[in-house]
Chains A and B, each alone.
Chain A
Amino acid sequence: MNLTRITAFGAGLVVIAAALVSTSTASVAASTTQSEGILCEPSNFAAATADFDISTSTGHISMPDGNVLFSWGFSTGTHAFQLPGPVLCVKQGQKVSITLTNTLDEDTSLVFPGQENVTADNMPSMPQVDGSNRVTSLAPVATKSGGQITYSFTATKPGTYLYESGTDPVKQVEMGLYGALIVYPDTTVSQDTAVNAYGDPGTAFQKGREFLHIISQVDPALHLAVEQKKPFDWSHYQAHYFLINGRSAPDSVSPNDASWLPSQPYGSMVHVKEQAPLGDTAPALVRYINVMPTDAAFHPHGNTETVIAEDGQQLRKNGVDDSYGSFLVDIGANRTVDALFSWTNVDGYNPTPGTDFNPIPVQISPYQDVLTSASTWYSMSPYLGHVGDLPAGVTSLNQCGEYYHMAHNHALQFATNFGASFGGQMTLIRIDPAAGC
């Protein structure tokens, strides 16, 4: 540890403290603002066609260490600029029509990996080549400075997909031109009532417990060069910020639409109740999308996840369920993975004398004998739903004795903010007692 890191860490925690306060005060309006989980662009699952008007835009994103980075993004106008692009939610069988308006001073386009029969202005969308057979774009473009093009396809299969720039994608995707596309099974009435990812009993999840992790990275030098319209030497490319849903930890656990992150509207904290008759009775669904050029080795603490789908394809063939348990969810470059998470109080620890009395059988060190971070998610009690005494000078980020576990990229250089630990591609898993908080 060194002073620089202490300072950066402390600053991050102040932001988090504010975030949690805001979460609780905003919870009254949760039904309209939806502070957690997937925040879809408004769309109507009953309509035959889901129409989206998307523009490129530029703006700035903030990092927890105070750095502010120029970035590109997609926007529907809900935000003048946002990272990542709007989450597009549609129903299986719907026709999807996306009109892209290009405000950048270079051509751009959209590709939809995993979708079939995509058209661009009613012609098949396919890679573009110049006179010498050089691929200039993976899809027909919206030309620079105002060009427009409409991509259409029918969302035939449920699943987790992405959309991203198909033009100079090494640069344009890194600059922020990516977003999530989620196709719900055809039985789904609306996103907020969805309970199944692929329409199969093995892909059921608890209503409202659906989360998105879009994993990306940023080289601040590239973003500065683009902002200043200067050339960039790609042989010196070095990412220093590592994002989930456009945010770097600990901003990742701030609520959706946090006012202090005006261009980064999507939080990523996974929030469940313990599995119990009065708690959650189905797992949570985490939809992972990796837009980095390298694999993401994502490690949820707390429990093994069950991987149920990859690239929008349920892991099931010939009627055989091929899902598998994994404490390390490995998301390949430009791939998607769906996984289920739940937490059960298997050992039934209970400090209250009575029929369920079952104390942890080792001495829990008193707080005087351990280190507690200056701001802590720990309730100071090892038991779910219990709160212990807070040491003097320590700020609690805990509400009711709920548990928090970490979830992060285990290539730990990706779990940093410009090298400072407890940052980057890291978020939290919150586990509430069955009775709630």
Chain B
Amino acid sequence: MSTDSAGQPAQHPRPTPTDQGATVNDENAASEGRSGLISRRNVLRAGVVGAAGVGVLGVASTRGTSAIAAGNAGFTATKSDTVHLVATDGWVSMPTGADPVPGYWPDTLAPDPYNMYVFGFRNVTGMTDAQVIAQRGQAQISAPVLGFDEGSEVKITLTNLGLSQRPDLIDGHTLHWHGFNNAIPIFDGVPEMSASVPIGKSITYYYRPHDAGTYMYHCHFEDVEHVQMGMTGLLFVRPFMSTYVMVPDATGKLVPQRGANGQLVRRTDGKKFVFNDAATAYDREYPLFLTENDPEDHWRDAHIQISDWSTYSPGFALFNGRAFPDTIEPSVPGFNPANIAYGPPTNRQGNPQDLGTLERLRYQPRSALIEAVEGETVLLRIAHLGSIRHTITVDGIPLHVIGSDASQLKGPHGEDTSYVTNSVGLGAGESRDVLFKAPKPGTYLIYDRNFMNLSNTSGSGYGGMLTHLVVYPTGTTLAAGKTV
């Protein structure tokens, strides 16, 4: 058995959730062998970690005025994460009860039961080549949620499968980790500053996340089009404190503790944190990923027409790729095809798994329903890759905003600049880390207080960026996989 630098099995154990993973958020973790799968990536990780040995963690501050780093101070990854994404097109379903947009939506080309054309990513980690290729034309929105550990090394391979509906297009694709600090251009994914992936090829992007927080990722090839078409997702980095016992170093900064043998000491209490700060502890976390789409633009891409992207006027406002009432529908089981616990990869042509009424949402797999038990501290990771401002509101529940754009709300000398509100405003491309205490049992609304975004295609007040927070009585155990 190989070991990581902490002397633990390479099968990196995460803090045990209190309730069998109702709040597991990252789809890459779901493919990590929870089910006992000996995957290629586990083999890869064993190799990397075996060679790494014990070293100094390369921790660097990235604030604009930070001290000059001494380069790579013997960086040793604590863990390796390998993810394989494909980029392609596909069809999704906006709420079927919405007023039609005459001529544009529902799209007459869409195969039943779908109604809107999209571009998107798909997580194919661990799949065979044949399974990977079979994902062509099966993009999902939002993109798979990716979660990584601070101090790990991350390899994300992006394969361009081309567009099944638009074989005339030769678009490349890229991966842009939005907000990654001290990025180098080759892994920043801007085609004009580096390279993009042609159809049939792959690029492996490499990152060493040094800063915990909530980020996002998207394709930057012809960005206005590819982002609008759906190539967007949420990404987050867990702090060392969620894995290791932390102690102050000579400067007072918290760093992972080393045991007598020089190896990092794992924490055993299962506590989770947003940043390396005990004040940022939480019990349960959810992604809330904000986008909007303009049905006319999506129709034009499907029908080989040209859009003037400067006239953007969204018809649907989405949480996790879904508009209300789909936001509160359950997640689609098996949405990570690599997770064999949920059965083999599925597709709509040869579907071995009957999704029933959820078939409509096969390519919008992530629920936006928030569930918690009274008294729990809930973390909302809110990220916005749409194009208009949103103000996420929960009435009567104080929202403690502790992070903004993957930076803890803390001044350069440790000043607490976090704040409490019930309306969290985000411009396009921003993220917020929000904690709240689950109040007394009941159902609460989480919504964009801009009424324009509380409808689907028309001003009915029914739809859009609205979901439910359901709080259960103390002592309730949330069922496994109930929400994700």
Question: Hey, which bits of chain A sit against chain B, CB under 8 A?
Answer: 1-2, 4-5, 202, 204, 238-240, 242, 275-277, 281-283, 295, 297, 299, 301-306, 320-328, 330, 339-350, 356, 358, 360-365, 367, 369-373, 375-378, 382, 384, 403-406, 409-416, 418-422, 424
8 Å CB contact of B222 from A5, A341, A346: A5
The reply to whether A362 and B58 contact each other, CB–CB distance below 8 Å, is: no
Beyond A342-B64, A403-B184, A410-B387: 19 further Cβ-contacts under 8 Å? A281-B68, A297-B430, A304-B181, A321-B413, A323-B412, A324-B407, A324-B411, A328-B431, A344-B62, A346-B60, A371-B172, A371-B196, A376-B193, A382-B184, A405-B183, A406-B220, A415-B224, A419-B308, A421-B224
8 Å CB contact of A324 from B75, B181, B417: B417
Q: Which residue in chain A gives the minimum CB-CB distance to B412?
A: A321
Q: Which residue in chain B gives the minimum CB-CB distance to A284?
A: B64
Q: Separation in Å of the B90 CB from the closest CB of chain A?
A: 19
The reply to whether B203 and A327 contact each other, CB–CB distance below 8 Å, is: no
Q: Which residues of B contact A420 (CB under 8 A)?
A: 309
Q: How far is the CA of A2 from the CA of B170 in the complex (A)?
A: 9
State the majority secondary structure of interface residues on A.
loop
Q: How far is the CA of A324 from the CA of B409 in the complex (A)?
A: 7
For the complex of A and B, 9 pairs with smallest distance between CB atoms:
A348-B72, A348-B71, A410-B429, A325-B407, A340-B64, A306-B64, A419-B308, A297-B427, A327-B179
The reply to whether B309 and A416 contact each other, CB–CB distance below 8 Å, is: yes
Q: Which residues of A contact B225 (CB under 8 A)?
A: 421
Q: Which residues of B contact A410 (CB under 8 A)?
A: 385, 387, 427-429
Q: Which residues of B contact A367 (CB under 8 A)?
A: 195
The reply to whether B411 and A322 contact each other, CB–CB distance below 8 Å, is: yes
The reply to whether B412 and A202 contact each other, CB–CB distance below 8 Å, is: yes
The reply to whether A411 and B387 contact each other, CB–CB distance below 8 Å, is: yes
8 Å CB contact of A305 from B64, B75, B206: B64
The reply to whether B75 and A347 contact each other, CB–CB distance below 8 Å, is: yes
Known: A302-B182, A304-B64, A346-B210. A324 touches B387 (CB 8 A): no
Q: How far is the CA of A375 from the CA of B206 in the complex (A)?
A: 25
CB-CB contacts below 8 Å: B236-259 with A: none
The reply to whether A404 and B193 contact each other, CB–CB distance below 8 Å, is: yes
Q: Separation in Å of the B76 CB from the closest CB of chain A?
A: 12
The reply to whether B198 and A370 contact each other, CB–CB distance below 8 Å, is: yes
Q: Which residue in chain A gives the minimum CB-CB distance to B388?
A: A411
The reply to whether B197 and A371 contact each other, CB–CB distance below 8 Å, is: yes
The reply to whether A421 and B413 contact each other, CB–CB distance below 8 Å, is: no
CB-CB contacts below 8 Å: B63-107 with A: 63-66, 68-69, 71-73, 75
Q: Which residues of A contact B182 (CB under 8 A)?
A: 302-303, 343-347
Q: At the interface, yes or no: B190 with Cβ under 8 Å from chain A?
A: yes
Count, A-B residue pairs, CB within 8 A: 258
The reply to whether B307 and A419 contact each other, CB–CB distance below 8 Å, is: yes
Q: Which residues of B contact A299 (CB under 8 A)?
A: 178, 429
8 Å CB contact of B406 from A282, A304, A419: A304
8 Å CB contact of A304 from B71, B191, B405: B405
Q: Separation in Å of the B88 CB from the closest CB of chain A?
A: 16
Q: Which residues of A contact B64 (CB under 8 A)?
A: 283, 303-306, 325, 339-342
Q: Separation in Å of the B58 CB from the closest CB of chain A?
A: 7
The reply to whether B407 and A412 contact each other, CB–CB distance below 8 Å, is: no
Q: Separation in Å of the A69 CB from the closest CB of chain B?
A: 14
The reply to whether B188 and A405 contact each other, CB–CB distance below 8 Å, is: yes
The reply to whether A304 and B407 contact each other, CB–CB distance below 8 Å, is: yes
The reply to whether A405 and B195 contact each other, CB–CB distance below 8 Å, is: no
Chain B 142-173 interface mask (CB, 8 Å, partner A; 1/0) = 00000000000101000000000000011110
CB-CB contacts below 8 Å: B189-237 with A: 190-198, 201-206, 208, 210, 220, 222-225, 227-228
Q: Separation in Å of the A397 CB from the closest CB of chain B?
A: 9
Q: Which residues of B contact A418 (CB under 8 A)?
A: 308, 310
The reply to whether B62 and A328 contact each other, CB–CB distance below 8 Å, is: no
Q: How far is the CA of A375 from the CA of B193 in the complex (A)?
A: 10
The reply to whether A412 and B223 contact each other, CB–CB distance below 8 Å, is: yes
Q: How far is the CA of A419 from the CA of B352 in the complex (A)?
A: 42
Q: Which residues of A contact B312 (CB under 8 A)?
A: 413
Chain B: interface residue total (CB-CB under 8 A): 80
Q: How far is the CA of A283 from the CA of B220 in the complex (A)?
A: 27
Chain B 418-445 interface mask (CB, 8 Å, partner A; 1/0) = 0000000001111100000000000000
Known: A304-B406, A344-B62, A416-B224. A370 touches B309 (CB 8 A): no
* A-B pairs with beta carbons under 8 Å apart, 10 shown: A2-B306, A277-B68, A299-B429, A305-B64, A320-B415, A365-B204, A376-B193, A405-B188, A406-B190, A416-B310
Q: Which residues of A contact B133 (CB under 8 A)?
A: none
Q: At the interface, yes or no: B185 with Cβ under 8 Å from chain A?
A: yes
Known: A303-B182, A344-B62. A370 touches B427 (CB 8 A): no
Q: Which residues of B contact A422 (CB under 8 A)?
A: 192, 222-223
Q: Which residue in chain B gives the minimum CB-CB distance to A356?
A: B71
Q: Separation in Å of the A236 CB from the closest CB of chain B?
A: 11
Q: Which residues of B contact A416 (CB under 8 A)?
A: 224, 309-310
The reply to whether B206 and A361 contact each other, CB–CB distance below 8 Å, is: yes
The reply to whether B65 and A306 contact each other, CB–CB distance below 8 Å, is: yes
Q: Separation in Å of the B102 CB from the closest CB of chain A?
A: 21
Q: Separation in Å of the A300 CB from the closest CB of chain B?
A: 10
Q: At the interface, yes or no: B261 with Cβ under 8 Å from chain A?
A: no
Q: Which residue in chain A gives the minimum CB-CB distance to B312?
A: A413
Q: At the interface, yes or no: B449 with Cβ under 8 Å from chain A?
A: no
The reply to whether B183 and A412 contact each other, CB–CB distance below 8 Å, is: no
Q: At the interface, yes or no: B404 with Cβ under 8 Å from chain A?
A: yes
The reply to whether A358 and B72 contact each other, CB–CB distance below 8 Å, is: yes
Q: At the interface, yes or no: B30 with Cβ under 8 Å from chain A?
A: no
Q: How far is the CA of A75 from the CA of B223 in the complex (A)?
A: 36
Q: At the interface, yes or no: B186 with Cβ under 8 Å from chain A?
A: yes
The reply to whether A325 and B63 contact each other, CB–CB distance below 8 Å, is: yes
8 Å CB contact of B190 from A202, A349, A405: A405
Q: Separation in Å of the A131 CB from the closest CB of chain B?
A: 38
Q: Separation in Å of the A217 CB from the closest CB of chain B?
A: 9
Q: At the interface, yes or no: B389 with Cβ under 8 Å from chain A?
A: yes
The reply to whether B310 and A419 contact each other, CB–CB distance below 8 Å, is: yes
The reply to whether A373 and B191 contact each other, CB–CB distance below 8 Å, is: yes
Q: How far is the CA of A373 from the CA of B195 in the complex (A)?
A: 8
Q: Which residues of A contact B128 (CB under 8 A)?
A: none
8 Å CB contact of B306 from A4, A356, A413, A424: A4
Q: How far is the CA of A373 from the CA of B205 in the complex (A)?
A: 19
Q: Which residues of A contact B205 (CB under 8 A)?
A: 362
Q: Which residues of B contact A384 (CB under 8 A)?
A: 184
Q: Which residues of A contact B389 (CB under 8 A)?
A: 295, 297
Q: Which residues of A contact B184 (CB under 8 A)?
A: 347, 349, 382, 384, 403
Q: Which residue in chain B gives the minimum CB-CB distance to A16?
A: B192
Q: At the interface, yes or no: B357 with Cβ under 8 Å from chain A?
A: no
The reply to whether A240 and B181 contact each other, CB–CB distance below 8 Å, is: no
The reply to whether A362 and B387 contact each other, CB–CB distance below 8 Å, is: no
Known: A306-B65, A406-B190. A370 touches B428 (CB 8 A): no
Known: A276-B68, A346-B181, A371-B196. A321 touches B411 (CB 8 A): yes
Q: Which residues of B contact A342 (CB under 8 A)?
A: 64-66
Q: How far is the CA of A146 from the CA of B189 in the complex (A)?
A: 53
